[in-house]
Copies of this chain bind each other. A is one copy, B any other.
Amino acid sequence: MGLIVQKYGGTSVANPDRIKKVAERIVKRKHEGDQVVAVVSALGNTTDELIELSREITDNPPKREYDMLVSTGEQVSVALLAMAINELGEEVISLTGSQVGIITDDLHSKAQILKIDSSRLEKELSKDKIVVVAGFQGVTINNDITTLGRGGSDTTAVALATKLDAEVCEIYTDVDGIYTADPRTVEAASKLKGISYDEMLELANLGAQVLQPRSVEFAKNYGIKLAVRSSFNHKPGTYVKEVGKLEKDRVVTGVACSTDDIKISLIGVPDRPGIAYQIFEALAEASINVDMIIQNVHRGEVNDITFTIDDENLNEAKALLDKLQNELAIENIVYDSEVAKVSIVGAGMVTNPGVAAEMFEALASQDINIEMISTSEIKVSCLINKSDADKAVQAIHDSFDLGNVEEASDGNV
């Protein structure tokens, strides 16, 4: 008998009928002899509806109260799923983030898990109960409710899998695995049998919304095998695990595209030592992640600095940069949201020179202008105009012949 942690996303529990289906899936697994901990997201659009409600009151809710509000979404889900499982005759209990002992820091709306006191969870498992856990949430040591940021339920699931030393952490979603590109954009995209943690981490960071990046990092650090599967069918999904021979041989594993970036150009920044530090330190202190950065050549006494951030941090960044503009005598600040970041990811890239050049060539062949570039050992990203995004992904996918990656035939990789 093994212990399995499953995570069901919002579309998997969008309505009572789907909740019943999820309950059947969990109970079936239990009957096969496994212990099941199911982590659940909020029903369908609940979180968006709650945020909309708060917008009718204020555009700047205190983040603590924001977390108080949106965390109710998952609490509704776990109660309903527990009812559905109980209706099938199985012993079950639902637990909130607080009850399951997920202790986080107090960085509301994007808190990080500090530790898990799993005594309650283990007590319930020892009574042979199915445990349904509210994803996305925790509490500070002062018992204030926190949320873990976009896709935080993935992190909840992986963290619990780690704490409980689970056999596998299954991520159920509305797609049946990880593809070489978003199948909605690229018809020929193929499903991957397996992918390494590092590749998945890059893809997740670069816009593939199947898994929260932090959850992949967590899984990598603790060696938790992830399985990405669809809750709507029983097809084998994609395993995320240590890099194997298969992954090492693939130069490019997938193409990702993110349209959540904002390009910010600081025009006419005085050319003084330490000034870039001052700017990026201020952003870092406000927990605003800066992604790509370029600094243009001198124009006399001043430089231009351009960088990208996630659009969810735009308002905060604006307030901060307005202040810095005065203090540092920056001539002008330009914000551009009409950008997209297309990226290729592959564990074998590091040993294959010329991969980046091939990507640039694919973009050039479509007359797509590259505004910024950043690279790591296993990825190349290009910032381009948002309107070119789909065309770019398609061209890159074709260029690396990713439509012919072997389709997963079973779940054993």
Contact = CB atoms under 8 A, between A and B. Distances in A.
A413 to B, nearest CB: 36
- Chain A interface residue count: which class? 35 or more
Interface stretch (A55-63, A355-363, A401-409): A55-63
A86 interface: yes
A139 B202 CA distance: 42
A76 B83 contact: no
Interface stretch (A33-41, A92-100, A229-237, A298-306): A92-100
A83 B68 CA distance: 11
B99 A87 contact: no
Interface string A21-40: 00000000000000000000
Contact of A58 (B61, B83, B99): B83
A190 to B, nearest CB: 38
A94 B62 CA distance: 11
Contact of A76 (B19, B72, B87, B93): B72
B99 A86 contact: no
Query: What does DSSP make chain A's interface, helix, strand, loop or mixed?
Result: helix
Interface string A85-113: 01100000110101100000000000000
A32 to B, nearest CB: 23
A29 B135 CA distance: 39
A80 B99 contact: no
Nearest to A15: B56
A16 B144 contact: no
Nearest to A142: B120
Q: Which of A76, A82, A87 has the most CB of B within 10 A?
A: A76
Given A65-B86, A86-B65, A144-B99, A80 B93 contact: no
A60 B291 CA distance: 51
A99 B146 CA distance: 13
Contacts of A50: 76
Given A86-B62, A144-B99, A19 B57 contact: yes
Contact of A87 (B53, B58, B68, B93): B58
A395 interface: no
Contact of A84 (B58, B96, B98): B58
A80 B84 contact: no
A60 B89 CA distance: 12
A3 interface: no
Nearest to A143: B99
Given A62-B82, A64-B93, A79-B68, A87 B16 contact: no
Given A75-B72, A98-B98, A143-B98, A80 B64 contact: no
A236 to B, nearest CB: 29
A294 B113 CA distance: 61
Contacts of A71: 75
Given A98-B143, A143-B98, A143-B99, A54 B69 contact: no
Given A61-B86, A64-B93, A68-B79, 13 more contacts: A16-B57, A19-B57, A53-B76, A54-B83, A57-B80, A57-B84, A58-B84, A62-B83, A62-B86, A68-B75, A68-B78, A96-B145, A99-B143
Q: Which 9 A-B pairs have the closest CB atoms?
A: A69-B79, A16-B56, A72-B72, A68-B79, A58-B87, A61-B83, A65-B82, A65-B79, A72-B75
27 contacts: A16-B57, A17-B56, A20-B57, A54-B80, A57-B80, A57-B83, A57-B84, A58-B83, A58-B86, A61-B83, A62-B86, A65-B79, A65-B83, A65-B86, A65-B94, A66-B79, A68-B79, A68-B94, A69-B75, A69-B76, A69-B80, A72-B76, A75-B75, A96-B145, A98-B98, A98-B143, A99-B144
